[in-house]
Amino acid sequence: MSGYGLKRIVMIYKRILATILLMALITMIIIKGRNFRISEIYRRSMKFIENTVRDRKLLH
């Protein structure tokens, strides 16, 4: 039962993280305008997600 609860918490955490990253991305696009490279920010955010996941795995 506790394992299921933990999975649920992790899923909620990932959703919140994804939402925050998406909002940050949208904000940056609005601020920077047309001369903005989405691919670079996308790559950075993916790297951040990978590092976060790796850190979470090391902690458990």
Domain extent, residue 47, equals 2-59
48 vs 3, more confident: 48
User: Whole-prediction pTM value?
Assistant: 0.42
- Cβ atoms of 28 and 41 within 8 Å: the answer is yes
Number of domains in the chain: 1
Provide the token pair at 12.
């909620």
For the cut 80, the answer to whether the pLDDT of residue 57 exceeds it is no
pLDDT band at 37 (very low <50, low <70, confident <90, very high): low
Q: 60 pLDDT exceeds 60?
A: no
Residue 50 tokens, joined? 């990978």
Q: Which of 25, 29, 16, 60 is nearest to 46 (CA)?
A: 25
Q: Which residue has the higher pLDDT, 18 or 59?
A: 18
Q: Looking up tokens 């920077």, which residue turns up?
A: 32
| Section 8-23 average pLDDT | 89
Burial call 40-49: b when 16+ CB within 10 Å, e when fewer: ebeeebeeee
